Homo-oligomer: A and B are copies of this chain.
Amino acid sequence: MSGGQALRLSRLVRAAAAVIGSRYLRPGQLQLHRRLALLAGGGLAATLAFPSVLAASKPDWMAEPISGYEGVKGDDIKARMEAMIMQVQADFCRALEQEEADGSVGSAPVKFKVDRWIRKEGGGGITCVMQEGEVFEKAGVNISVVHGHLPPAAVAQMRARGKQMGEGVLPFTALGISSVIHPRNPMIPTIHFNYRYFEVQEPNGECQWWFGGGTDLTPYYLDENDVRHFHGTLKKACDKHNAKLYPKFKAWCDDYFNVTHRGERRGVGGIFFDDFDEPNQEKAFEFVTSCANSVVPSYVPLVKKHKKDGYGYAERQWQLLRRGRYVEFNLIYDRGTKFGLYTPGARYESILMSLPLTARWEYMHAPEPGSKEAKLTEILKNPKDWI
């Protein structure tokens, strides 16, 4: 197949996706896209040092994947996962940029700053951050693709979690996407999501793998319709695969995002899971892809709905205080942040991208009984079912 043919084929795939009307490729589409790209690129890579004829067929991602465009074309699960999170990053970033542009009264709406970084111990990442926008005060969407060797302490911790692991220093790969969005308007909730794949090579040649992730919402003011829309979208994504998943992962989410010392949840939850490997790798990947593709439809309508809402000084102060508690959760309890910061050579700027631009702590702050702030607090202390 010539470069021209490859280009036409690839355009065909993109056109087909456009006809289906979704900016988010479904697993099947992604696979087709990858296979075509593989067919197209396979013969060329050997002959062209700079395969410029392929440029037009490259997906419209935020940057070149850490494994390179060639590296994400294989049928290997790592390549497919990397291609999937690249697409989710691009879709989510572009959707937020669109909201920023729509709301902008300035001449040049804020866009994501794209940082592609390489980790000297192996792998790297693509960190996209938007700061001081009119709609988004701080928005971060980070991909990381990390190869290395698990230190014995990490292996011991995984064994304690029930993983059967061999002795010694084990080669691993971790790749995932993680994002936290802090809007400016207190009527728009904060969203967090994270989808990841983890693989460890055992001394006996076996490979241990699992997926983890989740999406959760942290409102400053409670709009029950928002929460039902959000949970409903996640439930639909889960139900496509197995009706048992949503209730299980909803409860897991409420349990995980607990600011223990305050006896309150970080927000109104969503879904959370780890060590997920059922019923097989293909199906597990499809499930995670469904969840990741549900981020935009679960959240962007809430941004649209509330970005022009009025608010005053009191609502802004409440938002800042709640953000303080978000910081408490992330720095004291969050496993991902801890794992990240304690890893040698950690890119702390990408890990701490989750922190808000501004936050506030007042001694003994308590909302007025009967107020909207008290109503939110009540829900955070007693999580409920939304569907």
0/1 per residue, A337-379, Cβ < 8 Å to B?
A: 0000100001011011101111111111000000000000000
- In the complex with contacts A261-B348, A348-B261, A363-B140 CB distance below 8 A: yes
Complex alpha-carbon distance, A320 and B358, angstroms: 8
- In the complex with contacts A261-B341, A261-B346, A332-B331, A359-B362 CB distance below 8 A: no
How many residues of chain A are within 8 Å of chain B by beta carbon?
A: 33
Complex alpha-carbon distance, A361 and B349, angstroms: 10
- The yes or no answer to A66 lying at the interface (CB within 8 A) is no
Q: Are A341 and B332 in contact (CB under 8 A)?
A: yes
Complex alpha-carbon distance, A131 and B361, angstroms: 10
Q: Are B348 and A357 in contact (CB under 8 A)?
A: no
Please name the residue on chain B nearest to A132 by beta carbon: B362
Q: Are A327 and B331 in contact (CB under 8 A)?
A: yes
- The yes or no answer to A199 lying at the interface (CB within 8 A) is no
6 contacts between A and B (CB under 8 A): A115-B364, A131-B362, A140-B363, A261-B351, A349-B364, A358-B360
Q: A327 — which chain B residues lie within 8 A by C-beta? A: 327, 331, 359
Say whether chain A's binding surface is mostly helix, strand, loop, or mixed.
Answer: mixed
Q: A353 — which chain B residues lie within 8 A by C-beta? A: 363
- The yes or no answer to A244 lying at the interface (CB within 8 A) is no
Complex alpha-carbon distance, A360 and B182, angstroms: 13
Please name the residue on chain B nearest to A129 by beta carbon: B363
Q: A357 — which chain B residues lie within 8 A by C-beta? A: 360-362
Tell which of B127, B346, B355 touches A324, judged by Cβ atoms closer than 8 Å. Answer: B355
- The yes or no answer to A120 lying at the interface (CB within 8 A) is no
Q: Are A131 and B261 in contact (CB under 8 A)?
A: no
- A189 nearest CB across to chain B (Å): 19
- The yes or no answer to A70 lying at the interface (CB within 8 A) is no
- The yes or no answer to A262 lying at the interface (CB within 8 A) is yes
Complex alpha-carbon distance, A131 and B317, angstroms: 15
- A183 nearest CB across to chain B (Å): 16
Tell which of B260, B348, B355, B358 touches A262, judged by Cβ atoms closer than 8 Å. Answer: B348
Complex alpha-carbon distance, A332 and B348, angstroms: 13
Q: A261 — which chain B residues lie within 8 A by C-beta? A: 341, 346, 348, 351
- The yes or no answer to A277 lying at the interface (CB within 8 A) is no
Complex alpha-carbon distance, A364 and B127, angstroms: 11
- A104 nearest CB across to chain B (Å): 20
Q: A360 — which chain B residues lie within 8 A by C-beta? A: 357-359
Q: Are B363 and A349 in contact (CB under 8 A)?
A: yes
Please name the residue on chain B nearest to A356 by beta carbon: B361
Q: Are B352 and A328 in contact (CB under 8 A)?
A: yes
Complex alpha-carbon distance, A360 and B358, angstroms: 4
